[in-house]
Structure 1
């Protein structure tokens, strides 16, 4: 039956409930600046009323409450906002990585400046124009040509360094990612244990969500909730060898047919949880087969990207085309088991009957040999759907494209100048005496030992183009006259400089430079990509082709392309930053700690606490009247 003691207990429950609320408020205030913290709230509910309807229940005016209790301490979190932020994190990470490296490419090209390739190329052709009117100025031509080739070599080398740096970023990212996955898996199990005991692991869930936010910056992730607040995490697109809409792309699934998780709620030992490993070297061991175009490559990877110990190094042999080797070299990340040993895959079907790649064992040091390599299609190559990893991969592809265009430019310059110097549409050795002696190759391949051959000229690119050392040592050996004898002596007059004029006019010749290939010979190029013109003072010259471009215009188009890619990346970074800030503010308005609100709550809880204490004091006085007052 209700009485003073029941009122005493009711007030006591209020006192304890408000004390808990004050504790929660104190925790919120203490973590107001803690990254990833979500504000918490004590959820109060009434306790069971004093009497329930029954035959023996006392007849009173109604159910009397017995006080209040703390049902739970909940964190305030909006999972949809988390999803939006993680999607934006992936997109933002992608373009931030691209912007970081494309801005470096712009600095390397150094255009437009007086010391850039475009300016040096103009000065190079101007020096030939001056030479055509002043045949004694051969040293100026040699110097300008050397500066131009040096700059081409330097730009090419720096672009290669940018690609190498992006690969290093991938290796570092793999180590970070695997560390995050380990922490998330541990937190996942701790959260489940606490939840099964009947409590809310709010701080643990905040730590896990913060790691998920950071992981989503590396690549796109997909999260599936499970019992007891556990989660399964996988990539938002687990296809390999390309995006899902690429030809030949297929999703990667486990042997059981389910998607491959990188965090799994029902696997405390992480036995069935995938990780990532990183390829560190790719070395060609055999020549390409003439039928398949595939060669055998020695591929080394480190388990989980950990290069601190050679015990983690695994060497395998893979049969692949040059294009597949480039794809592996660019991406470098392999799906692996929980120990970091890369998976081997085979063709199969997913649950819906669509083509898929199914895990078919793992790749350790004993998996393959040079004589029996696995195929490229058996590698479980990870293709990031978004995030920093995708940015590092895509920027390597961009830089490789820029290098290819520089190579075409360098080869076009070398072949066209050499054709006029040697007066031949086919390669002619220096001092050959046929059709004439002397130096027939102005530009040569710097990767050789000095004895350049036709194959060496075919392999000229921006990284190895240089001026013939004989010309650098003695610029007077430059052929500028119309005819030379078999010993390389000029048969023209002292003012005969028709070859110099023909080379000077290359500046305005339209060439189909885009069609130049890596292994095309001078004979392939002259007359097809480069038009011939035989009417320039009886000197073999290079004319123009319809739809072609000049060397300078071609390079300027490359500079414009780099600028456009960088501008696009920068705009996307700005746009995604705005979107991310908007979503973050929305989440902060929901989950963030407002000191003004917490102070208001503190005052409210304090007054409630004081009121409950006053109620206990009042009941104490009433009990004193009952106990001591009845004696009188």
Structure 2
């Protein structure tokens, strides 16, 4: 090797070491920055024995990144469901909670049993009416909670759609920088990191898959195959549902005009918070609403009366909606409308005798037939709508207890799934970080190696310089 070649080789080595040192320093600076991958120089040999940095690359693992997107979507879906079920359970209570419909139904039966023993007691009559009022109030409150949960879910969907559109705009900006930079031969690794982070944020709301093509151009799809981004963002649309009617599904989400939620969706999404919130709004909450509506209907039927003309009229329980009677009512949303007639609070005697006294025509103080008939009716096996999601034939007490059990089972399953998916997400993020993230110890070790390489190259240059000086001096 000539002295000139040796000098050129040392100079290229110094330049390569300096470039690599800059990259390692950037890694050290970003060691605690979430989502940042490790950058490294792609070094090649030159024709004259030197080295040069051709480009900057980033550590990546597409399989782990894809798993992280999937885990993020699944975790957010179950978290949304679990949060809603927790709200329902905490507010409605359970069979051991005196505030739950099931427990208050038991209290009503106890009060009626006591009243039947002493039908002439006005205090026991008022206690039975108050127990009925407590039961109707618990159903009213449960229905209100269901509607609140549904409305919160609808609002959450609207907010998620707004966030998705904002993130898609960011994704386009970053994707343009990546494509243009790649075409120009620039270092775009930081932009690619940021683009991946935006994709991860999008996966919180809907299942996402990302593919790259020429010039690092990225394309996004939902987990159902609907294009979310290709060169330009596809519009995500949703109109808040107002009013949100009990028993009816809310509005659907569309992507680029394609419906991706609801019964009419041809390519429905399968994960993400929007999926979870849709499950809450149009499935879980409406099923629970149907259950408490069935309880309300059973109470109105069991306590209804027959007047002198043979017409069915409301008794202990009625609807607060004008024109809605025990003979003609809508079950949907009935738990929110059920009430105890105010007249019974000032005069509870009709509970024993009938609204028009038709059951106790002799006005006997010891008359208990009507009270016992109500107790019998409350204990009878009834038929329920299958939309309630539990048994279709049971007594009111058993049906109410099954409703609580259903809610507890749903809550338990959602909690287990949320914990499991959260663990999967954490482990996946750790695995991805281990594979592509920045390790400070490794970077410091790399710095030492580059320092030694730099020193060796500098020593070589110094030696070549001395040799050139001696050569020149010998010529003089």
TM > 0.5 fold call: yes
Q: Deviations over 1:211-258 (max 9, x none)?
A: 1111112111232322100011121214xxxxxxxxxxxxxxxxxxxx
Q: Which residue of 2 aligns with 1:404?
A: 290
Tell whether the 8 Å contact from 1:335 to 1:382 is kept in structure 2 after alignment: no
1:97 aligns with 2:80: yes
Aligned to 1:468: 341
Which of 372, 388, 391 is the equivalent residue of 2:276? Answer: 391
Q: 1:595 aligns with which of 437, 440, 443?
A: 440
Bigger RCO (CA 8 Å, 6+ sep)? 2
Q: Structure 1: how far apart are the matches of 2:243 and 2:287?
A: 22
Q: Is contact 2:81–2:280 with CA below 8 Å preserved after alignment? A: yes
- In structure 1, the residue matched to 2:248 is 326
1:236 corresponds to 2:202 = no
Q: SS of the counterpart of 1:69?
A: strand
Q: Distance in 2 between matches of 1:108 and 1:574?
A: 22
Q: 8 Å contact 1:482–1:497 — kept in the other structure? A: no
Question: Which of the residues 264, 269, 286 maps onto 2:230?
Answer: 264
User: In structure 2, the residue corresponding to 1:462 is in which secondary structure?
Assistant: helix
With over 3 angstroms needed to count, the CA separation of the structure-2 counterparts of 1:623 and 1:79, relative to structure 1, is same
- Is 1:508 matched with 2:379? yes
Listed as ranges, the matches of 1:279-318 within 5 Å are 279-281=239-241
Counterpart in 1 of 2:118?
134
Give the number of the structure whose residues are more often helix, by fraction. 2
Residue 43 of structure 2 corresponds to residue 169 of structure 1: no
State the SS of the aligned residue for 2:128.
helix
- Please identify which structure carries the higher strand content: 1
SS in 2 for 1:326: coil
Contact 1:334 / 1:382 at 8 angstroms: preserved in 2?
Answer: no
2:235 to 270, 275, 292: 275
- Counterpart CA distance in 1 for 2:468 and 2:90 is 86
Which residue in the other structure is 1:540 paired with? none
Counterpart-to-counterpart distance in 2, 1:332 and 1:470: 45
Alpha-carbon offset, residue 440 of structure 1? 5.5
- Equivalent residue, structure 2, for 1:620: 465
Measure how far apart 1:385 and its partner are: 2.2
- Point out 4+ residue stretches in structure 1 off by more than 6 angstroms: 379-382, 457-460
1:564 equivalenced with 2:409 (yes/no) = yes
Q: Deviations over 1:559-604 (max 9, x none)?
A: 1111111111111122222222232222111111111111111111
Specify which of 56, 64, 72 is matched with residue 73 of structure 1. 56
Distance 2:258 2:97 in 1: 51
Residue in 1 aligned with 2:10?
Answer: 11
Taking the aligned partners of 2:25 and 2:187, their CA distance within structure 1 comes to 18
Query: How far apart in 1 are the matches of 2:395 and 2:265?
Result: 44
Please list the CA deviations of residues 329-364 of structure 1 after superposition, one character each: whole Å capped at 9, or x if unmatched: 1x531234xxxxxx489xxxxxxxxxxx9xxxxxxx
CA distance in 2 between counterparts of 1:589 and 1:344 reads: 38
Partner of 1:305 in structure 2? Answer: none
Per-residue deviation, residues 273-322 of structure 1 (Å, max 9, x unmatched): 421111124579xxxxxxxxxxxxxxxxxxxxxxxxxxxxxxxxxxxxx9
- The RMSD of aligned alpha carbons is 3.0
Once the two structures are superposed, the pairs formed by residues 99-248 of structure 1 within 5 Å of their partners are 99-111=82-94, 112-135=96-119, 136=121, 137-238=124-225
TM-score (norm 2): 0.90
